[in-house]
């Protein structure tokens, strides 16, 4: 059988024209590589710097000032709060407002001059070990060089190693620096994001492809009732997935549960509804299941990369952080890690809850607006 180039070209032209008619698929084919290049090339950074630090100093001596300046000169520490009380600084660390808490104790300079090697306390939020690892390594170098210009004359004998003071690091909420304490709670959010958006996006699209949408439209069911009826079964599925993940987190990975279990379940419910709203919106836009899958991936990729699940959130540039703050997964990761690892109460969780509620309301509003009671 002879191979005809003309027939092959005819099929090629027909298929290319058909592909151009499906503008959404063609846009995804071009947009996904661009999105990956931008995110991996500009937004992702595994070496976070200028991490927010609270400095609590019991004295205002030149030596204490030199130590604070040396820490900031490393590029990893950025003093955002200074002169606060120990209790207020602890609350900032608990709420995630700062990554480090540096405490210079009373009579630090006096004990240092006497050669007693006083302790400099550095408390770090270790819920994400990768976000503070390089900073802690740089802290040891800064300790050795911080007072090089101050220990002169009679104090020169204090310059040889070891440093004239001791740096005591407390890894709060994850003393052993175990990565699974950070990864496993984050998997709750990433798995629910992927499955909830995808399942809901396919639900309405599948009915449209099979022709059962006409039967649904012939009923007196209102758009809000259709949306609620479609979402609720997947809420149940989401909690079933949650039971599997939480069981593995406790039985296999020994992840602690320091906070309220009921509060965590309530926050997960809000997060599930937010993602189901996104999936329902996608189902009103997609013409087939392939497009629904493509749109799900287009939403899931930035959610996974810009939320702080895979890479430290504070390591990203400012524009990427602004974009990440829009995504519900970003706020949910802070909530779930805060409740499970820190034991955060409802008062600390609420600032992260209202962005999720706003996103959920907007997604549901768009879905209801796009839902049509009649077929085109």
* pLDDT score, position 167: 82
Higher-scoring residue by pLDDT: 373, 15: 15
- Report all structural domains of the chain as residue ranges with CATH numbers, in order of start: 51-172 (3.40.1710.10), 180-370 (no CATH)
Q: What is the mean pLDDT of residues 246-250?
A: 88
- Residue 312, Cα to own-chain centre: how many angstroms? 8
127 secondary structure, DSSP code: T
Q: What is the mean pLDDT of residues 280-302?
A: 85
* pLDDT score, position 190: 92
| Total H helices, total E strands in the chain | 14, 5
User: Cα–Cα distance between 303 and 306 in angstroms, integer?
Assistant: 6
* pLDDT score, position 144: 63
Contact 199, 236 (CB under 8 A): no
Q: What is the mean pLDDT of residues 235-244?
A: 89
Which of 82-96, 177-191, 324-338 has the highest mean predicted lDDT (pLDDT)?
Answer: 324-338
Contact 144, 150 (CB under 8 A): no
* pLDDT score, position 155: 54
Share of the chain above pLDDT 70, in %: 87
Higher-scoring residue by pLDDT: 364, 302: 302
**Is residue 35 pLDDT above 80, yes or no?**
no
Going by C-alpha positions, the residue among 280, 266, 272, 270 that lies closest to residue 225 is: 280
Contact 306, 316 (CB under 8 A): yes
Q: What is the mean pLDDT of residues 278-306?
A: 86
Q: What are 303's two structure tokens?
A: 């959610």
* pLDDT score, position 333: 94
Q: What is the mean pLDDT of residues 293-315?
A: 88
Cβ atoms < 10 Å from Cβ of 358? 13
Comparing 16-25, 120-129, 177-186, the range with the smallest average pLDDT is 16-25
**Is residue 1 pLDDT above 90, yes or no?**
no
* pLDDT score, position 375: 46
**Is residue 136 pLDDT above 70, yes or no?**
yes
List the strands of the sheet with 119-125, edge to edge: 77-82, 51-57, 100-104, 119-125, 166-172
Average pLDDT over the chain reads 82
Which of 268-277, 286-295, 363-372 has the highest mean predicted lDDT (pLDDT)?
Answer: 268-277
Question: 189 falls in which pLDDT band (50, 70, 90)?
Answer: very high
Using CA atoms, how far residue 204 sits from 279, 284, 353, in Å, is: 10, 7, 28
Share of the chain above pLDDT 90, in %: 22
Q: What is the mean pLDDT of residues 238-254?
A: 88
Q: What is the pLDDT of residues 53-85, one digit of tens each?
A: 999 988 888 878 888 888 888 889 898 888 778
* pLDDT score, position 104: 87
Q: What is the pLDDT of residues 140-173, one digit of tens each?
A: 777 666 665 655 555 555 554 566 778 888 888 8
Q: Where are the alpha helices (DSSP H) in 117-222?
A: 129-145, 180-210, 213-217
**Is residue 354 pLDDT above 90, yes or no?**
yes
Which of 21-30, 56-65, 253-262 has the highest mean predicted lDDT (pLDDT)?
Answer: 253-262
Question: 374 falls in which pLDDT band (50, 70, 90)?
Answer: very low
Contact 340, 316 (CB under 8 A): no
**Is residue 21 pLDDT above 50, yes or no?**
yes
* pLDDT score, position 143: 66
């Amino acid at each position: 059988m002879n191979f005809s180039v003309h027939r092959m070209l005819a099929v090629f032209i027909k298929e290319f024209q058909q592909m151009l008619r499906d503008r959404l698929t063609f846009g995804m084919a071009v947009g996904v590589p661009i999105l990956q290049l931008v995110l991996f090339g500009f937004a992702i950074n595994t070496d976070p710097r200028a991490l927010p630090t609270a400095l609590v100093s019991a004295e205002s001596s030149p030596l204490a000032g030199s130590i604070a300046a040396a820490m900031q000169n490393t590029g990893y520490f950025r003093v955002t709060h200074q002169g606060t009380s120990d209790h207020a600084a602890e609350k900032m660390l608990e709420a995630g407002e700062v990554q480090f808490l540096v405490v210079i104790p009373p009579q630090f300079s006096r004990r240092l001059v006497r050669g007693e090697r006083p302790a400099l306390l550095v408390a770090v939020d270790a819920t994400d070990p990768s976000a503070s690892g390089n900073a802690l390594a740089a802290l040891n170098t800064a300790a050795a060089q911080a007072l090089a210009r101050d220990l002169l004359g009679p104090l020169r004998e204090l310059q040889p190693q070891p440093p004239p003071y001791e740096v005591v690091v407390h890894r709060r909420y994850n003393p052993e620096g175990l990565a699974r304490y950070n990864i496993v709670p984050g998997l709750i959010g990433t798995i629910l994001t992927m499955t909830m958006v995808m399942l809901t996006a396919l639900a309405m699209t599948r009915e449209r492809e099979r022709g059962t949408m006409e039967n649904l439209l012939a009923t007196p069911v209102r758009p809000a009732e259709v949306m609620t009826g479609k979402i609720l079964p997947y809420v149940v599925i989401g909690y079933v997935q949650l039971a599997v993940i939480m069981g593995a987190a406790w039985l296999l990975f020994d992840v602690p549960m320091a906070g309220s279990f009921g509060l965590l379940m309530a926050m997960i419910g809000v997060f599930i509804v937010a993602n189901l709203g996104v999936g329902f919106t996608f189902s009103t836009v997609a013409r087939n299941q392939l497009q629904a899958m493509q749109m799900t991936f287009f939403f899931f990729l930035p959610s996974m990369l810009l939320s702080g699940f895979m890479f430290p959130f504070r390591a990203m540039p400012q524009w990427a952080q602004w974009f990440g703050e829009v995504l519900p997964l970003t706020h949910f990761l802070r909530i779930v890690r805060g409740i499970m690892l820190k034991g955060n109460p409802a008062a600390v969780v609420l600032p992260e809850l209202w962005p999720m509620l706003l996103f959920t309301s907007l997604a549901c509003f768009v879905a209801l607006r796009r839902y049509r009671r009649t077929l085109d």
